[in-house]
């Protein structure tokens, strides 16, 4: 792809030479058909066109191929080629389908070589010259059925223009994507180098801390306990709460708190989690990243007694924080080399001072907190990318098929509430909701002539119906290759299976079908029935309900039908996205 784009963008002069050579070849093939009748007017027309076109090709190859692309010269050659095609070639061979390759090559050259404005203006000139030539030769009687010939050729050339612009835009979009991926790759390399540096720095810091831990006989089991929690817990607040409780219990502190940025858009840190600070409302406390306090902690980079920090030039919130924790320790938390928050440890209940072992433990916990914050950020980024990917897929499908607009959202809403009603866990509900949103994504790979067919299905339409149902197989391939999980892929593949085992594509039924597929089968069918489709108008909801009742046990899981209709009647949220 990048080589094609590079050739079109930076080797336009050679591209046009190849286009002219292709035109010469076609013209010579057309000319060869009249060699037996050299007295014919068509022979003379084609001979002149061949000589002039070959001369133009030689001129372009000799004077313009090894120079930078000259748009003005290209326009002159294009106009000459246009005149030859429509005033000499067209009246001679207009009845030959092979002739259409010449205007096709001409149109592709105009679209791909010239700027958008220039190509638009030249195309207008091309169509005007074609119209003039058609009028002249129709008047002279050289073209039979002139209206039909003119209309057909005009339509075909319009299709060439449309396809050329679509292809050009597609190549440009692919290039942008390629450049984006290239930039991401460079960014990943840069990030990899940064991680190597951070790893070396962290390794040195950990080695230093471990030496101090061994020297002061700090119980290593507490560190292992903290590390173990990173592996077995997924909720960041639970993990950090456990950290605080470990520090309070080990050191004997009165309280502990972590301040960090709660949103990527925030330019300040605030209390994210705390233990033991009873009666203190710190919800409005904000410490901005550009503040002097942050600069001090950024330079210290290790636990420090709060009473050692000067209060000169600090904002009100900073002074309030230092006064509140004046007997305590405060430790900066670094993420990717930048300060991401602070870890505050309250004074000891027994009144003793913090020793070096306490400092080491606090530094270790701060390092673990940094790891948790980083994992939380990565998780949020992944979820955001996941959501954007799903939205992009849905938009691409709805943009292609207007009748699908809103169908996926409504179906996903039904599936979400049924899955919740069945008592499934949050991850299963989320997966099934995504599966419902993406179950028809395979329709992107199905031809419009099948999906948009207005013919009502009957027993004789099995071929057409199977071509449409093929979207289930195509959708599962797309989702599987994109890395979606098994639940989502299975729902796309089997949402047209029947409970009695007579569906598509694998003819499996009952308990061989997953819960997600059985739920989606009912929800998808109901919303499809009450929505407009290319071959029919929307059915009345009462009719759709009767259909579900009638086919419960054959097409649909009867338990799912019963649950769906009950929820539809009692749960107003089921109608949330109703048109």
Average pLDDT, the chain: 78
Question: According to the model, what pLDDT value does residue 534 have?
Answer: 66
| 226 pLDDT more than 50 | no
| Confidence band of 48 (pLDDT split at 50, 70, 90) | confident
Percent of the chain at pLDDT above 70? 81
Q: State the average pLDDT over residues 68-93.
A: 80
**Token couple for 544:** 């759709």
Classify residue 423 as left (phi > 0), alpha (psi -120 to 50) or beta.
left
CA 506 – CA 289 distance, rounded (Å): 59
Confirm if 497 and 521 have CB atoms less than 8 A apart: yes
Mind listing the pLDDT tens digit for each residue in 271-290?
888 887 776 777 778 888 88
| 457 pLDDT more than 60 | no
| Burial group, residue 188, by CB count within 10 angstroms (0-12, 13-18, 19+) | exposed
| Confidence band of 218 (pLDDT split at 50, 70, 90) | very low
Confirm if 479 and 492 have CB atoms less than 8 A apart: yes
pTM of the predicted model as reported, rounded to 2 decimal places:
0.40
Residue 422 neighbours by CB distance under 10 Å: 15
Domains and CATH numbers, the chain: 2-183 (no CATH), 216-379 (3.30.450.40), 401-575 (1.10.3210.10)
Question: According to the model, what pLDDT value does residue 214 have?
Answer: 55
Q: Which segment, 127-131, 220-224, 311-315, 462-466, is predicted with the most confidence on average?
A: 127-131
Q: Among 333-342, 381-390, 408-417, which is the least confidently predicted range?
A: 381-390
Mind listing the pLDDT tens digit for each residue in 295-306?
888 887 788 888
Q: State the average pLDDT over residues 432-459.
A: 71
Number of Cα atoms under 13 Å in the Cβ half of residue 55? 8
| 222 pLDDT more than 60 | no
* 324-340 burial: b if 16+ Cβ within 10 Å, else e: bbeebbbbbbbbeeebb
Q: Where are the beta strands (DSSP E) in 336-476?
A: 338-345
Question: According to the model, what pLDDT value does residue 63 have?
Answer: 78
| 390 pLDDT more than 50 | yes
| 574 pLDDT more than 80 | yes
Q: State the average pLDDT over residues 176-204.
A: 84
Question: According to the model, what pLDDT value does residue 332 have?
Answer: 85
Mind listing the pLDDT tens digit for each residue in 156-180?
878 888 887 887 788 777 778 877 8
| Burial group, residue 206, by CB count within 10 angstroms (0-12, 13-18, 19+) | middle
């Amino acid at each position: 792809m990048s080589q094609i784009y590079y050739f079109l963008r930076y080797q336009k002069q050679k591209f046009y030479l190849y286009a002219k050579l292709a035109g010469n070849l076609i013209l010579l093939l057309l000319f060869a058909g009249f060699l037996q009748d050299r007295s014919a007017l068509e022979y003379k027309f084609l001979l002149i066109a061949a000589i002039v076109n070959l001369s133009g090709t030689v001129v372009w190859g000799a004077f313009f191929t090894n120079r930078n692309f000259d748009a003005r010269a290209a326009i002159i050659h294009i106009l000459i080629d246009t005149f030859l095609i429509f005033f000499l070639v067209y009246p001679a061979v207009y009845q030959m389908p092979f002739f259409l390759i010449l205007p096709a090559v001409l149109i592709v050259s105009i679209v791909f070589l010239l700027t958008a404005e220039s190509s638009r203006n030249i195309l207008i000139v091309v169509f005007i010259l074609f119209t003039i030539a058609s009028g002249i030769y129709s008047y002279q009687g050289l073209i039979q059925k002139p209206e039909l010939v003119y209309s057909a050729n005009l339509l075909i050339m319009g299709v060439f223009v449309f396809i050329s612009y679509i292809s050009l835009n597609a190549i440009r979009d692919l290039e942008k994507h390629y450049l984006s991926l290239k930039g991401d790759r460079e960014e990943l390399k840069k990030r990899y180098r940064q991680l190597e540096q951070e790893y070396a720095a962290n390794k040195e810091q950990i080695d230093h801390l471990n030496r101090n831990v061994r020297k002061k006989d700090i119980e290593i089991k507490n560190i292992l306990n903290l590390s173990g929690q990173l592996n077995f817990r997924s909720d960041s607040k639970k993990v950090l709460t456990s950290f605080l409780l470990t520090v309070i219990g080990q050191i004997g502190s009165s309280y502990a708190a972590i301040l960090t940025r709660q949103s990527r858009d925030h330019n300040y840190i605030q209390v994210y989690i705390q233990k033991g600070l009873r009666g203190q409302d710190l919800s409005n406390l904000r410490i901005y990243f550009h503040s002097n306090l942050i600069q001090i902690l950024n330079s210290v980079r290790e636990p420090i007694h709060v009473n050692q920090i000067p209060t000169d030039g600090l904002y009100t919130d900073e002074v309030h924080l230092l006064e509140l924790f004046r007997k305590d320790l405060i430790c900066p938390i670094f993420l990717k080399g930048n300060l991401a928050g602070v870890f505050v440890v309250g004074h000891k209940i027994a009144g003793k001072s913090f020793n070096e072992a306490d400092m080491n433990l606090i530094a270790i916990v701060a390092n673990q907190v940094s790891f948790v914050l980083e994992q939380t950020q990565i998780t949020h980024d992944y979820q955001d990318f996941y959501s954007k990917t799903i939205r992009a897929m849905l938009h691409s499908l709805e943009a292609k098929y207007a009748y699908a607009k809103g169908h996926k959202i409504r179906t996903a809403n039904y599936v979400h509430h049924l899955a919740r009603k069945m008592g499934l866990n949050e991850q299963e509900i989320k997966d099934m909701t995504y599966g419902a949103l993406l179950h028809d994504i395979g329709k992107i790979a199905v031809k419009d002539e099948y999906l948009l067919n207005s013919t009502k299905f009957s027993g004789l339409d099995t071929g057409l119906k199977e071509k449409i149902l093929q979207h289930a197989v195509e959708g599962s391939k797309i989702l599987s290759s994109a890395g979606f999980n098994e639940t989502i892929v299975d729902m796309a593949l089997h949402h047209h299976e029947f409970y009695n085992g007579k569906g598509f594509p694998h003819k499996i039924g009952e308990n061989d079908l997953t819960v997600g597929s059985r739920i989606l089968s009912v929800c998808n069918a109901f919303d499809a029935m009450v929505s407009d489709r290319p071959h029919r108008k929307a059915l009345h909801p009462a009719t759709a309900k009767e259909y579900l009742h009638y086919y419960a046990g054959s097409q649909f899981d009867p338990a799912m039908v019963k649950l769906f209709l009950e929820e539809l009647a009692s749960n107003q949220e089921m109608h949330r996205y109703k048109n």
